Structure 1
Amino acid sequence: MEPDTLLARITDYTSRPYPYPLYAELREAGPVVRQADGSCLVGTYHEIAALLHDPRMSVDPRTRGEVTHKPPFLRLDDPEHHRLRTLAMRPFGPPHSPGRVDAMRGEIDRITEGLMEPFEAGSQVDIVDDFAYPLPVTVICRLLGVPREDEPLFRAWSDALVAAADVRPEADTTEADKAGDQARIEMGGYLVNLAEQRRGRPGDDMLSAFVNEPDPALRLTQEELAETAVLLLIAGHETTVNLITNGVLTLLRQPEHLDHLRREPALLPRAVEELLRYEPPVHMRERVPHADIEVSGTTISPGTSVVLVLASGNRDPKRFPDPDRFDPTRPDIEHLGFGGGIHLCYGAPLARIEAESALGALIPWLGSARLSQDPPPYRQNAMLRGPRHLPVDL
């Protein structure tokens, strides 16, 4: 097949269970592969890493006139990105010191144990609906200060926002984009209203910290608060759902590693890093250059959509020996699972804690478990790739 159809084939739903042969084809075709729609794909590790750190690469959708409203800081360039990211991170605690997330380790373990109470031998559970989804949603809602009874509201909003955020070959506005915009407005309005209820009456939560900031220079505007709170809630759980679910799927497919981790639980943090390389929760990121950029002899013009296929870079044999093998003892795992550069995932520490807690609790159950369906049904989203359901017989 022609290389200029690779993006269409990668994003086609039939490729979702196992896109890795297409990624190998992408790497073979060259560091930069032009597509029929005018975009460029990059699938080799070193080129992706360099572009993630290149200040000429923009994440702002307004660069291409795709949106008119101010996007969340995840989709902004410096210096505005740095300002808002710094303000959003303040409630997590001071840099390089134990903060709010580290303090939640015990509570995360308790939430994990509570979700596993209904598990019993001889039953079937859906790892996504019964465990991997409710765990990070509960955690991020508690961090933000969302009442438990309101947590179910976020499922539909999250699904709409994630569907709109996918990488697609065509650039036209779709029904998914419209639904995503509506969900963003509704969720933002809900979170701002919740925050305003804490103004002058702060609790020990992040929304309270945002609206009760004493320094006027460090306060978020209402629009910035809405976008930041929505971003924290979505980014705080969507990728973690995939990380946990992909981890369970990988271990059930490779019982020798499951047994190894059961015997040596101290390996679990390294195993989570290897999962972030081997089956990452985020497969692609889009960037747009605002100046000519040369990549391995190919010049990419300003305004071109550049899709960085992180999951392909994670399996680049020029960077990782035997890259298609899952190895929880791999000594060098400098993966692209959390992106890189100034937009390195700010929720990475929380995701690692949640994944370690979840897999640590599940591993004793998985030794005698089996997959009810393999491959399982996957989510539509090609960028945030993971099973939509993962039924397992205990």
Structure 2
Amino acid sequence: MDSETLLSRITDYANRPDPYPLYTELREAGPAVRQADGSYLVGTYHHLAALLHDPRMSADERSRTASSPSKETKDPSFLRLDDPEHHRLRRLAMRPFGPPHSPGRVNAMREEIARITTELVEALPTGRQIDIVDDFAYPLPVTVICRLLGVPREDEPLFRGWADALVASADMRPDEDTTEQDQAGNQARIDMNQYLLDLAGRRHGNPTGDMLSAFVNEPDPSLRLTPEELAATATLLLIAGHETTVNLITNGVLTLLRQPEHLNRLHGEPALLPRAVEELLRYEPPVQMRERVPLADIEVAGTTIPAGTSVILVLASGNRDPRRFHEPDRFDPTRPDNEHLAFGSGIHLCYGAPLARIEADTALGALMPRLTTARLVQDPPPYRQNAMLRGPRHVPVQW
């Protein structure tokens, strides 16, 4: 088929269960493939890695000179900003989360993550059909990220509707009218931002040991986030902190149930689980693609991409590139040299990666004994609409 339709076909919901043949077609069509809407797709590992580290590639949507298949907030978080503003906001967001200022924050969550996981697994009924997403993979990371930020437990259900609307509004749908989704996403952003600012206001002068408390009680004025920055940062952490982990856990369960030989091996050799999580990140990455914009004309393997053009970096394609990975379409939980692109690379490398790894390792380890006797009720299961944050919407399992 015409390579200029690749983006339309990748984002077509009919291809959500298995986009990987399209990624093969992308890699064969060339390192940089122009689309009918004027954007470019890049899907080869080494070119993706180079562009992720190239300072001429902007993450800021305001660098575009033309329309884009993706949409972002008008007040972007640091995820969609460039240095030096990106560095400033990311550094402030990192202070209460990780090294060097809070080196023990994530590691200290291990015990609570294990407790939450055990409670969820023990609540799953036996001899009945369950939904891995609704009954386990969603509640775990949303509970964890809400605890980290300091969201009261009784308010956790509020975030599912907001998160669904925001994720839907950020999806790539080049051939569809997304006015309704955009309006719903904008309203969800307003509601979530206001909720978080109100909650942060209650923590000012009354810290409770969580990240919101740390943000609003920072004694150094030069290290404080403005209200707008606080709302954008907290919203990003809530969305990114659970949406991707839900997909990682769910894709992991789905992959292991489809390949019982690996499931049984991991059950018998739990020490292999951390390596298996890395392989799951390569094999079925939760984030399939990201957008960048060149600040100057840039050449990719002989193709010149004009400044201001939308460039879609198909990370999931790079993770299956045979020029980088041996037998890339084979799931191998003992794979060596597994430098995947699931968390991106360069200055925008996902800072929540250590937490996601702990959650996935803990979740799959706790599920393992019961997965060995479980079976998929529907394969492929129904998927979420979003092509960028790809994962099943439900995974019905006979438990």
Which of the five TM-score ranges fits, normalised by the shorter chain?
over 0.9
Q: What is residue 389 of structure 2 aligned with on the other side?
A: 384
Q: What is residue 336 of structure 1 aligned with on the other side?
A: 341
Q: What is residue 215 of structure 2 aligned with on the other side?
A: 210
Separation (CA, whole Å) in 1 of partners of 2:377 and 2:176? 37
Residue 85 of structure 1: how far off its partner (Å): 0.3
Once the two structures are superposed, the pairs formed by residues 1-394 of structure 1 within 5 Å of their partners are 1-64=1-64, 69-95=74-100, 98-169=103-174, 174-394=179-399
Q: TM-score, normalised by structure 2?
A: 0.96
Residue 94 of structure 1: how far off its partner (Å): 2.8
Number of equivalent positions: 394
**What SS does the aligned partner of 1:197 have?**
helix
Separation (CA, whole Å) in 1 of partners of 2:292 and 2:391? 22
Q: Are the aligned partners of 1:167 and 1:284 in contact in 2 as well (CA < 8 Å)?
A: no
Q: Which amino acid aligns with 1:70?
A: D
Q: Are the aligned partners of 1:372 and 1:393 in contact in 2 as well (CA < 8 Å)?
A: yes
Q: Which amino acid aligns with 1:33?
A: V
**What SS does the aligned partner of 1:213 have?**
coil
Residue 182 of structure 1: how far off its partner (Å): 1.3
Q: Are the aligned partners of 1:37 and 1:170 in contact in 2 as well (CA < 8 Å)?
A: no
Q: Which amino acid aligns with 2:144?
A: V
Please give the root-mean-square deviation of Cα atoms over the aligned residues, in Å.
Answer: 1.4
C-alpha distance 308-86 of structure 1, shift in aligned 2 (>3 A): same
Once the two structures are overlaid, the 10-residue window that deviates more, 63-72 or 120-129, is 63-72
Separation (CA, whole Å) in 2 of partners of 1:307 and 1:174? 22
Q: Are the aligned partners of 2:128 and 2:398 in contact in 1 as well (CA < 8 Å)?
A: yes
Q: Which amino acid aligns with 1:317?
A: P
Residue deviations 1:268-323 (CA, integer Å, cap 9, x gap): 00000000000110101011111011000011001111001100000000000100
Q: What is residue 68 of structure 2 aligned with on the other side?
A: none
**What SS does the aligned partner of 2:106 have?**
helix
Q: TM-score, normalised by structure 1?
A: 0.98
Structure 1 runs of 4+ with >3 Å offset: 65-69, 170-173
Q: Are the aligned partners of 1:133 and 1:237 in contact in 2 as well (CA < 8 Å)?
A: yes
C-alpha distance 58-164 of structure 1, shift in aligned 2 (>3 A): same
Once the two structures are overlaid, the 10-residue window that deviates more, 188-197 or 92-101, is 92-101
Separation (CA, whole Å) in 2 of partners of 1:49 and 1:288? 15
Aligned residues with identical type, % of pairs: 79
**What SS does the aligned partner of 1:41 have?**
strand
Residue 171 of structure 1: how far off its partner (Å): 9.3
Residue deviations 1:304-347 (CA, integer Å, cap 9, x gap): 11001100000000000100000000011100000111001111
Q: Which runs of 5+ in 2 are unaligned?
A: 66-70
Separation (CA, whole Å) in 1 of partners of 2:315 and 2:198? 37
Q: Which runs of 5+ in 1 are unaligned?
A: none
Q: Are the aligned partners of 2:8 and 2:175 in contact in 1 as well (CA < 8 Å)?
A: no
